[in-house]
Structure 1
Amino acid sequence: MGLTPNREVFITCAVTGAGDTTSRSDKVPVTPRQIADECIAAANAGAAIAHIHVRDPKTGKGSRDIALYTEVVEHIKASGVDMVLNLTAGMGGDLTLGSVEQPMPPSPNGTDMAGATERLEHVAKLRPEICTLDCGTMNFGEGDYVMTNTPAMLKAMAAQIQALGVRPEVEIFDTGHLLLAKWLYDQKLLDDPVMVQLCMGIPWGAPDDIGTLLALTNNLPSNWTFSAFSIGRNQMPYAAMAMLAGGNIRVGLEDNIWLDKGVLATNGPLVERAVKVAEGMGAKILGPQEVRERMKLTKGW
């Protein structure tokens, strides 16, 4: 079977995330202005989509504060720089068990469980073109933290996202998550064109080897649009891998804080490097308006 690389590629930049990367790099943006500025830098470097989390400016930890999202979006709007906004809706599904001997009650440190409507309050207010839908439950790290997204929660969130007219980007962290995405689609809770992000190399989800990537892409419906990324040192090799598999690219400080060995990154240079990889492989880089047309996005912000 021959390769069918993607020749028209869009780049998503995940500018900050919610993990404890701030303790390892002072380049990770924390305040709304810093996050907005990194989105603008990524767009100027060639990213069509900015994937946005917000952080508590005082602690640096991930937040669901609507005021922080609003401030980020307003800064971006005021800049006049065009980009597709993709707001996370993953926050609010964080469960940390008490201990291996006494799992209940959950630990207040690291637990943030919210209902479907509350998890989508910022999406309902700001109406971004895209928001994420984490399509499954999964262990993270070596402790007692579980990313929690039950089938009932996914159905409720997908229905609300659909009613808002926002395009969900379905986050696939493992092979079973793809089955959940197909299940949602069969219930008419995901509209065409379906947009998928393959999140590879995250313990304990799908590993970032070629075989697992192909196992996922070979089981994606042919009319679904996907991007793929890996974390850490494999972020840039996965820019090429995603293209070769027929998909699009994601880079950014959410997934990788390094530009080179010993050199901390910012988002703009990571996007610039991804552009070089894609163009070096003969691909055209799509801009935000081309992505809107391709994905039938509704600009509400």
Structure 2
Amino acid sequence: MNSEVILTCAVTGAGDTVGKNPNVPVTPKQIADDCIAAAKAGASVAHIHVRDPATGGVSHDPAHFREVMDRVRDSGVDIVMNITAGGGGDWIPDPADPTRGGPGTDIQTPAERHHPVGELLPELCTLDCGSLNFGDMVYVNPADWLREHARLVQAAGVKPELECFDLGHVWFARQLQQEGLIDADPLYQLCLGIPWGAEADTETMLAMRNKLPASAQWAAFGIGRQQMPMVAQSVLLGGHARVGLEDNLYLRKGVLASNAQLVEHAASLIENLGARVMTPARTRDHLELRGAQTGGEA
């Protein structure tokens, strides 16, 4: 069991969720406000995507990321910032010609995906470690693209969070480390419950955890109704945890959640298991992030 837990809040994501829960933040101000609220509720890390303020759809605009980060910093509330670098991988077959991408397809090069990270230099960024059938679309991450992306993240001096949606992704993440493309002890995120990747259950989490390098730090999350069960299971198996409206819209059946409520619920669950949630300062020291101070706050 893990006695000190890094608790991440994934505040908005890029999915079609805005019309399903009015608490899903859309504008940079709303996203920043939810990062601040999550921090006050006890989150260690805020994981952020940004959206088109006019439509609520996907955006990759570095200006939106910058506004979110500036607003959070200017608030005086401390939280580790984790920018997504996993956008621009959506391929949806055209119904008229399945050899071509149809409406909703959104493909970016590694350099384009890295642009907000390279410009803003957050403490953490995601690095997705493989392709998969992601519901009805294909999430595209060719191996050579990932190597190029890993080099860009490494050169920027940002710590990557290695997102693994299936067991083969763990294998490839280990390969990146063996090739010298991941510095220091790696940080993994086991992403469970996405159709048709790794299932959100104990057996799958344990199998993925058992394939991690001995030096790895790791976290896990489950989507939908499996969010809180996977928080508990991850802590019991020695990992960290993630919650938030990117992954789950409900506090309980029929009750829509806010990000702060999900953080509060997860923090209470972690504490009831006999563990405690790390502060942002302690998280920086633990993960050896940019600007971490040895002997920081416990």
TM-score range, shorter chain: over 0.9
How far the C-alpha of 1:105 sits from its partner, in A, is 2.3
Matched, 1:279 2:271: yes
* Residues 1-150 of structure 1: pairs in structure 2 closer than 5 A: 5-99=1-95, 102-107=97-102, 109-141=103-135, 143=136, 145-150=137-142
Tell me the residue number matched to 1:239. Answer: 231
Distance across 2 between alignment mates of 1:169 and 1:110: 26
How many residues are aligned here?
292
Distance across 2 between alignment mates of 1:105 and 1:95: 9
How far the C-alpha of 1:28 sits from its partner, in A, is 0.3
> Which letter does structure 2 place at the counterpart of 1:115?
T
* Residues 159-238 of structure 1: pairs in structure 2 closer than 5 A: 159-238=151-230
How far the C-alpha of 1:210 sits from its partner, in A, is 1.1
SS in structure 2 of the partner of residue 170 of structure 1: strand
Residue ranges of structure 1 left out of the alignment (5+ in a row): none
Distance across 1 between alignment mates of 2:204 and 2:231: 16
Distance across 2 between alignment mates of 1:245 and 1:217: 8
Q: TM-score, normalised by structure 1?
A: 0.95
> Which letter does structure 2 place at the counterpart of 1:125?
E
- Deviations 1:51-79 (CA, angstroms, capped at 9, x unpaired): 00000011101110111111111111110
Distance across 2 between alignment mates of 1:255 and 1:126: 25
> Which letter does structure 1 place at the counterpart of 2:264?
E
Residue ranges of structure 2 left out of the alignment (5+ in a row): 293-298
Distance across 1 between alignment mates of 2:241 and 2:87: 23
How far the C-alpha of 1:299 sits from its partner, in A, is 4.5
> Which letter does structure 2 place at the counterpart of 1:106?
G
Q: Does the Cα contact within 8 Å between 2:201 and 2:230 map onto a contact in 1? A: no
Distance across 1 between alignment mates of 2:237 and 2:67: 37
Q: TM-score, normalised by structure 2?
A: 0.96
Q: Does the Cα contact within 8 Å between 1:128 and 1:299 map onto a contact in 2? A: no
> Which letter does structure 1 place at the counterpart of 2:7?
I
SS in structure 1 of the partner of residue 191 of structure 2: strand
Q: Does the Cα contact within 8 Å between 2:231 and 2:266 map onto a contact in 1? A: yes
Distance across 2 between alignment mates of 1:276 and 1:198: 22
SS in structure 1 of the partner of residue 97 of structure 2: coil
SS in structure 2 of the partner of residue 103 of structure 1: strand
- Deviations 1:106-151 (CA, angstroms, capped at 9, x unpaired): 11x211111111111111111000000010001122x3x1110010
Q: Does the Cα contact within 8 Å between 2:192 and 2:223 map onto a contact in 1? A: yes
- Deviations 1:235-292 (CA, angstroms, capped at 9, x unpaired): 0111100101100010000000001221111111110111111111111211111111
